Structure 1
Amino acid sequence: MYGIDVNFLNDREVRPAEVKARSVQATPVGDRRPLYVGLAVALVALTGVGGYWLALQQQIRQMQARESELDAQISELQSQVQEVNAIQSQIGIVEAENQAIVTLINKIVPWSSLLRELQNRIPERIQVESLSQTGGAPPPNEPEAAPPPAGGIEIQGQACSFDDVNDFVLLLQRSGLLDGETVQLTGANLQEDPLPAEDGRCPGSPANQRESLVDYTVRANITSLPATDLIEEFNRNGTVGLVSRIDAIRETGVTEP
């Protein structure tokens, strides 16, 4: 059996190939506003950081200037503190000197005041022949104690009677310039011979009565009270100089009124 081959190629028209041109479309870039916003934010941030840095530098300069000012004030204050310390040291020296003067004055009992005190306390029937200063003696109730720094006195003389001597001792015990507890009659002896008529007689005794005098010795310690506590005694006895010095010291505030 035979097959029939039909060749259609020979009958086909040769036609040029049609090439379809494709238009290449550009890919859209998109919205750039976020980029601009980001750049703006970054710029603002950088500007803020720069401003903060400038402000910080300004504060640092101000603090450095303040530190320099405080250093200058501290240096000045240290100089003033040194001056104050020097003045306080001088004040301490002056106060110590004043206190030494006060201590010395407090130990002083002027003999002029003591003599005036004794003169005012000597009875009419007592005669004083001698008055001398002694080293003083311990108080009777404290035999082991040291003698007073002001020392003591010893009075010797004659009296018309033993009673007159006793009265004299009592008067001395009441003196503010003597330590009353230490006023003691250490000797009293009746003279053997009566008082000669040509020498007179004791005050208050009858004209025709012949009396024998009594030799006596009285000892006492000068008071240990400070002179600032004896102003009244000094004024009464006319010790103006010492009172004036004490008043001047009181005005300086070294001692209390």
Structure 2
Amino acid sequence: MTQDVDGDYPAPGESIAVLNRLLRMWHAHDGGASIPLLDGTSLPALAIHVQVEHVAELTESIIELIRHNVYLSTAPLFRLSMECAVNAVWWASDPARVRASVHEAARQSDLFVRSVRRVQPGAFSDSAGMTESIKEFARFASLDARVFERRCRAIQGGAWIYPRYRLLSESSHGGIALLSEYSVHGTRTATNPDGLALVQRPHYRHLELALETQVILFALALAAWESVLPDHPDETELFELANDLGFGDLLQTAIGRPSPGVTGTPQDAG
């Protein structure tokens, strides 16, 4: 697994073929998800399943946009996928962390309600349930639940994730970073001293890296789900695929499980 954002990455078609394979693995169990009890409740497994399901939905959206030659609009979808996948792995390694995330979600909702009430007093008069959630889960409060970078670094072997997340965030927000996507440098003239020309429907300059990242994070999310199931129906196939692509060791390290039925040393992806 390379940490170099300037490295060589698979062509889009290659990554999309792998993403379609991961989607087939995930959707093979549609309608038959078994939700195990973790930490004495169904909440962690439900939360993990939802994160993986959303990564699958986002993946399908990304593929469809690219099929229609729409590239830059995929940037925020890649970024959101990373958030969902990291959450799934973080929760699967310690299901009690879901309670920390519940507390953080309630805290964020409380901040939102307070900000609205400053301009619209009396709004959200039925927010008592949110206040109760904050109190109920206060003992699980965690800085990791609040800071995405910390969740990335809490994943064994995941130090590379946050730098890529920041890179893929550049074009996921409004701001000056979009200028480099929607413009090209040309000849400087008296009327155009910067030599910039605008581009419509631009190609996304990080597309290949983003697609490789989507493959790895989707596989990580699937591995997280497999790790909490008692029978692990797709684990062997998933590890074989990851080893073929060079990041089987990352899956093994991130979810803290040996690769089932797989031998050999994976090579670095690149």
TM range (shorter): under 0.3
Between Structure 1 and Structure 2, which shows a larger proportion of strand residues?
1
Q: Compute the TM-score of the two structures, normalised by the length of structure 1.
A: 0.22
Larger Rg: 1
Higher relative contact order (CA 8 A, sep 6+): 2
